[in-house]
Structures are given as structure tokens and as C-alpha cells.
Structure 1
Amino acid sequence: MTSYAIISPDMLQIGDQFDRYQIQAHLAKGGMSDIYRAFDLVNKREVALKVPDPGMIGDPAQYERFQRELEVMKTLSHPAILHGLGSGKYNRMPYLVTEFVHGQSLRELIETRAPLPIDQAIDITLKIADGMAHCHDNGVIHRDLKPENIFITANGQPVIMDFGLALTKSAHRVTYSNLSATMGTPDYMAPEQVEGKRGDARTDVYALGTILYEMLAGKTPFTGDNNLAVMATHLNGTAPRLDRVQSNVTPQVAAIVARSLQRNPDARYQDMRAFVDALNHPETADLAILDQAPATKANQFWHSQAVQAIGISVLVMVVIVAVALVLQAIR
């Protein structure tokens, strides 16, 4: 077994010991950290160990995101929420420890089996929504719901992970992370996120509606040639009717999904429980919402203008973050 004076995730191999955890397998590598399956030598149990990239320690935004994740998980207790077990530092390197979930990511399930059967997709959505309602009750907005951040256990229970971009009721100021939150994967971002706003429970409703659409259609509702084009479509496009993309989807279910994907947050379900209620009672769906025309070439001009506006906004945010980091370094 090996221990290191300065830990780098790239150096951890099967059998290595990191603090009291013995590495069993490398599970995933993200933009800011590596995740391992490990064995807790003290408590004699299998866990997931999240170790940041060493370069992250000098990045205030990424470090804050890493630290926030465990603080959020400490406030939550729900079958659909990943359970945090603890945190620590080993040779100056912080780390997080969570339960180890056996199963596959929702991304893997979609890629191998989508379009999913309607009953299965709705069951997964209802369980995720119930977990997210628990988050919202505790003042936590996820803001990064996507199939990669949801695991499905062997018994079909979804488990929501990665609360690094979460907004909490105690977060009153705009941080570097808030700025960088608009620069992630755009497919599941609500229009207000594209505009750089903080978001609320309805932001998570939009993301979950996008996930449900993808599970049923096998593709996301908003597409484009690049990230900026996708973001622009969120701002001025309308998702194609789901019942016309997949003929086995009823107009009622299509209408429920369409409402969750409304550009104006006030026009969406106002919380996860309303979304759940609609899915449990599809006969009450307002089919008039399906009359909205999807984006066509007629609005390509406005689409191009939105792309330009988003590009400028992203550039401005990058400049702001860069200036802030320089000022911090000077201090």
C-alpha cells in the first residue's frame, strides 16, 4: 500500500490507502475531482470517496463547490438523496465520503434502453421529484439535475448526487460558483440559469421535465450545433410535442411535460409536489398548452440574436471571474 506526501488522485491505485480508506476501484473523473470505491478500515464498510484535483485548491469557485456539497448533504435525509458520511483532510487534501450506491447512472440507462417504457420513466421521475421536494423543504435548490447526477439502484430507486452547485437559503451573496454555474452542460439548464439568475424550485422542475422528456423520447427537447445554440433554444424555443416525437406517449403526459418546460417560471409547476400531483392525475392536464408552436426557421433571427447575447454574457462573466481572482491574488 502507498501513502503520499502530496496526494494526487491520478496517483491512487487499487490497494492504496488514503487516510483510513483503502482504494478498491476508480469510479469516475469529473472536472474537479475523482471518485473511488473504497473500504473504510475503521467502520468496515464500502464507501464512495471523492478526492479533488490538487489544482482545485487554488480555485475559490471549485473549492467552495466541493466544500458546499457535504454541508448540503448533512441537512438532507431521504431515500432519493445520496447520504453523506463525513469529510476530512489527508496530507492537506480535503475529501468527502458518502454511501456507496450499487447500480448504474440514469445516463447509462438512457443510453442503453431509451426510450424507456412510460410507466418506468414516470416512476423514476416521481421518486426524483419526491427527493427534490425534500431538498426544497430544507432550503436546497440543486440547479444541476441531469442524468449523470442520478444513480438508479438495482431495485429501481433513483439517488440524486452532486450538490456542488446547490443554492441554499444561507447563500445570500453572489459567489464565483454562482457565476460559473451558468457555464456547465446546457441541456438541462432553465432559461433563468442561461440568463445568469440564481434560480429556485421551479428551476429544478424544468430540469426534471427535461430529464423525463429525454427518458421518453430518447433525446433532449432542446438541441443545437453547440452549447451556445442550445442555451439560446432554451431562451426562445419550444420543445417539440412529446406525443408527436413518441406516438406511445399520451397527449396528457405530453402536456404535463410541456408545462414543466415553460420558459417563464411562473407558467411551470410551482413546486415538485404540483409536478407529482399532475403526473399522478394525468386526466387533469391542460391540453391547450400543446398548441404552442415549436421553434421554426421563422424565428432563426431571434435565435441568432440570443446566441450572440449569450456569448457576450458568458464572456463578461469570464472577465468578472478573472478580475476577481486577480484581485484576490493581489490581496
Structure 2
Amino acid sequence: MILLCLCLVTLVSASENTGTAAEIREAGPADTAGRGTAQETAVATAGTRDVSADRIPIARETSAVTGTSLPDLTTVVMIFAVTAIAAGLVVRKGKNACSRFSMVISDRSARLLIAGFGFFALVFAVGSLSLTTWIRAVNTGGAAGVAIAILMCAVPYLAWSSALLAVYTAQRTPAILILRIHPVVSVIAWGLLISLIASVFPDIINRWSISALIVLFPLSALAGWAALRSILPVSDDDREEGGKPPVPAGAGEDEEATRIASSTVTQACLPPALQEKYSDVMYVGKGGLGRVFRAQRRTDGKTVAVKVPISFDELTGKSFMREMRIWETLRHPNIIELYSLNILPVPYVEMEYARESLANLEIPLPPEEAVRIVLGVARGVAHAHANGVIHRDIKPQNILLSGDGTPKLTDWGLGKVLDDGAKETSITGFSLKYAAPEQIAPNTYGKTDERCDIYQTGIVLYELLTGEPAIPGDGGLGEVSAAILHHIPAPPSSFRSYLAPFDTILKKCLEKDPENRYRSIEDLIAALISVQLPVTDTGKSGFLE
């Protein structure tokens, strides 16, 4: 459809310019009426037809000498063909890179980009025809001639590039290379056109198509940049999952299992079976055993988070459903609420959506704010412990903040029911820097229990207060594991003296041996409530209670 529109625009513009050329040829006999120079002829012609002279003064002056018909169809076809080949080569060159990226964009933003790129394609097509007329009418060389030649290549290339990007955005295809080149070409063309108008050909701005180019070049660059920001890298695991997912054992005889397993989950797209339920879908990230999307329920327009398994193999599916069953039993203001859970049409869970995670905050925080957040987390943990559940993966990324700043725990993929007697799953993806010593060395410190959550809550509080990690090391598994088992974090007062009231609390939270920590999360809550907040730069102090 876009290509058809380009052809129609080409024909209309060619007819318009041919009419202009006919007007110019009407003035041709004045050349033979005894006027000695081309300049005199142009002046006489301009006096006879003032309207045409105002319309295209530069083209009129030269065409009276050459008698050229504008634009030449062969030139137009050749330029469009060459730039089409160039755009095609860029697409082909970047094809292999597409598998390493994913286009993550909401439906609304995608529609805006598609409309924008389609509009740019049409206007750039018109602009390239105007430039064709201009270059054939203006005899110039040097730097101006080079600039015009570059424009003659850049504008039709942008027409093709915009058309391709409209198609690729509709398909959610991450055309990474053409997206990187598109804004650069737009900015270069804009700079060249501005410099030509300012220094050589000021009258050309009177043409509406050239004026439109001045405005649309930067807009085109912004659109390309916006689309480029929606392209995210895909990990090796994601690329493997992008193909046909593995089918659970025995699924070949189970039609329903086969149908569920055949649903592909990619970063950029909610499974097709769920798109009837949700609109305005945007990929948020990977959490535990699933991928999380922000979406709007079609029934009432409510914004929710939708989580689906990272793959549909049997082990992941069982672990995902186990996580959801644990999570479903927990209802507390400081725990993300599950709205619904189902295995059809594909396994998924719908839950409360929170816009921001604790990991996005700039640290250190004021002591009163840090304690407020950690108290909320601790109360959510206390509720889980009262229901026989431990989290085992408390970290800033798993603490979300609601619109009013309420902290809420999410991602119970490593959650464990204390008295279920079940064997540990083989999926153990805890975050190393926030792992408790008993998770690293269970033979030394025993199995994980509620005190694992106390340790991880202390790690989070330490970071919020000091702005530094409690466990140093950016090295490999061995280096960080050794630090977890042997490193003693510096007391908060060594960073800021007014944090001294937290030294004892955090020392007890971060003991290597679980036996030396607080006996329960309620004891930690009581300690935080009773601490006297230090006087800070804000002048605030006092008891939280």
C-alpha cells in the first residue's frame, strides 16, 4: 500500500512539474527576439509571468537557456531504484542481528510510529521529486554541488527507509541496523539542506515540499530514535526459547498439552492465546520462572501485570505453578496481590501492577525513608512466615513500589513451604549478592528457614542506608561466595556517623550463623520501630513509633 502511494505521488508531482516546464517553454520565443544574454531573457520572461517567477525562480532562469523538461522520468526512476537497492542491502546486512534483539513496544506507541513512518515515506517521496527538479535546473559545482548530490541520495533513501520501518514496526521486527542508520541520515540531510538554503539558494524555501523537509528531517530522526529505544538485547537463553519450545514428555499423546506447549513466549509479545484478554501490552522483564508484561484488561481497562512461564517444558511448568500456588495463599498490603491464575489457554497469572522497583531508586536514602520501606517489607515477610512460607530471594529488584510508595514483595519463585516435606527443585536461581550463607554452604549452616529472609532484609536495609553493597566483589562465583561466607561488612556509622543507631541492628541481621541472628522477623520489626532516628541534614529525629 505504501509503495502504491509512492507511485501515485510520483505521477502527480511529475504532472505538476511538467506543467511548470510548459509555462517556461512559452517564454522561449523571447530568447530569439533579439535579447542578447540569458540573464536578459530571464528578466523579460519574469516580467511577463510574475506568478511563475515567484513560484520557481531558479529553475526558470536556467530552463530558459536549456529548454529542459522537468523532471526527467529516467532520472527519477534511476534515483529511486538505486536508493531502494541501498535500503535493501541495509536490511539484508542487519538481518542476522535481528535474532539478537527484540522490539518491546506497546500497541499504542507502535500505531503512532507506523503512522509517522508512513507519513514520512510519502513526504520524502515528494521532496525527492522536488530536489530532482532543483538539481536539473541549477548548474552549480564545488561544495554546493556535492551537498545537492548527497541530498539527492539521502531523501529517496529516507522514503524507502521510512516505508520499511512502518512495515517492520507493524510486525514488531527489530530492524536494528536500518534503525541506527535512519536518524543519522535524517540529521545529515537536514544539516545539508539548511546550509544550502542559508548560503546558496535562499529562494528554494518558497517551495512547500522543501519547507516540509526542513521540519520533517528532525521529526524523522526523533521517530527513528524512539523506535531504536524500544529495541532490547535478547540473552542466549531467550534466543533458544524463541524457536519451538520443548514439548513435555508424553505430550505427543495429549492434544491439550501439545497445544499449550506450542505457544511461543518471546520478550516482545504476549502469547497469542492471551491477546484476546489484554490490550496495550508491554514487556516489563523477567522475574524468577516467568516473563512479566504490563497490560490492560479488555473487560474493564484496569492495568495489570501478566506473568507467563519462560518456557513450556515440563520442569519449568511445574515450578511455575508451584510458585503461583504458594503466592496465591498470601494476601497482605505489602505483598503483590494475585488476581487470577489459570492454565488455559496457556499457563499464566494476572496480578497487581506496580510501576517502579526499589532498584530504581537513587541511594542512599534518608534513614526515615529507608526504615519505612524496610518495615513494610518486613511486615510482608512476617505475614508469609505466619503462613509457613519463606521467600529466600529478597532483593531490591523484588521489592516494588505502588503509586503511593507502599513497598510490596513480588517474585516468590524461590518461596518454600516450611512443612511440606517436598524435595528442593533443581531450579535454584537465587541472586548471589543477596544470598544468605546457608544458601551457599548448607552443610555448614544448615537448611534455609525464616532467618534467611531476615539476613536478606538486613542486606537491603544496609544498601539503602549506606549506598554501598554489604557484600563486595564484582568477580566470579568463587569470589562473591567467599565474601558471603567470610566478609564482615563495615558498620553503617563508618560511612556516616549519624547511622550509628543501626550498627547493632544490622550486625545482628548479617550474622553468618543463623543462630546468632534475630529469632524472628517480628523481633527485627520491633528493633526498627524502637530505634531513635538520627538527626540528619533535614533536621528530623525521633522514634518511628
So what's the TM-score if we normalise by structure 2?
0.46
Q: CA deviation at 1:240?
A: 1.2
Q: CA deviation at 1:13?
A: 6.5
Given residue 378 of structure 2, which amino acid in structure 1 is its aligned partner?
A
Query: Aligned in 2, Cα 1:170/1:21: closer, same or farther, shift over 3 Å?
Result: farther
- Of 445, 463, 471, the residue aligned with 1:214 is 463
Structure 1 ranges of 4+ moved more than 6 A: 13-16
Matched, 1:245 2:495: yes
Given residue 63 of structure 1, which amino acid in structure 2 is its aligned partner?
G
Alignment partner of 1:49: what SS?
strand
Q: CA deviation at 1:64?
A: 3.2
2-structure distance, mates of 1:230, 1:10? 30
Matched, 1:51 2:297: no
1-structure distance, mates of 2:498, 2:462? 13
- How do 1:1-331 and structure 2 match up within 5 A? 6-10=263-267, 12=269, 17-30=274-287, 32-54=289-311, 57-58=312-313, 60=315, 62-91=316-345, 93-101=346-354, 103-109=355-361, 113-177=362-426, 180-181=427-428, 183-196=429-442, 197-224=446-473, 225-250=475-500, 252-282=501-531
Q: CA deviation at 1:150?
A: 0.5
Larger fraction in helix: 2
- Does the 8 A contact of 1:24 with 1:36 survive in 2? yes
Question: Structure 1 regions of 5+ residues with no counterpart?
Answer: 284-331
When Rg is computed on C-alpha atoms for both structures, the one with the higher figure is 2
Alignment partner of 1:206: what SS?
helix
Given residue 70 of structure 1, which amino acid in structure 2 is its aligned partner?
M
Q: Which is worse superposed, 202-211 or 231-240?
A: 231-240
Structure ranking higher on relative contact order (CA contacts 8 Å, 6+ apart): 1
Given residue 106 of structure 1, which amino acid in structure 2 is its aligned partner?
L
- Does the 8 A contact of 1:223 with 1:229 survive in 2? no
Query: Aligned in 2, Cα 1:21/1:243: closer, same or farther, shift over 3 Å?
Result: same
So what's the TM-score if we normalise by structure 1?
0.75
Query: Aligned in 2, Cα 1:25/1:246: closer, same or farther, shift over 3 Å?
Result: same
**% identical equivalent positions:** 30
Please name the residue that 2:248 is paired with: none
Alignment partner of 1:216: what SS?
helix
Larger fraction in strand: 1
Alignment partner of 1:248: what SS?
helix
- Does the 8 A contact of 1:52 with 1:94 survive in 2? yes
Q: Which is worse superposed, 150-159 or 18-27?
A: 18-27
- Does the 8 A contact of 2:265 with 2:271 survive in 1? no
Alignment partner of 1:249: what SS?
helix
For residues 266-292 of structure 1, give each alpha carbon's deviation from its aligned partner in whole angstroms, at most 9, with x where no partner exists: 111111110011112236xxxxxxxxx
2-structure distance, mates of 1:186, 1:269? 22
- Does the 8 A contact of 1:70 with 1:86 survive in 2? no
Query: Aligned in 2, Cα 1:52/1:202: closer, same or farther, shift over 3 Å?
Result: same
2-structure distance, mates of 1:96, 1:139? 22
- Does the 8 A contact of 2:339 with 2:352 survive in 1? yes
2-structure distance, mates of 1:14, 1:202? 38
Question: Structure 2 regions of 5+ residues with no counterpart?
Answer: 1-106, 108-170, 172-259, 533-545
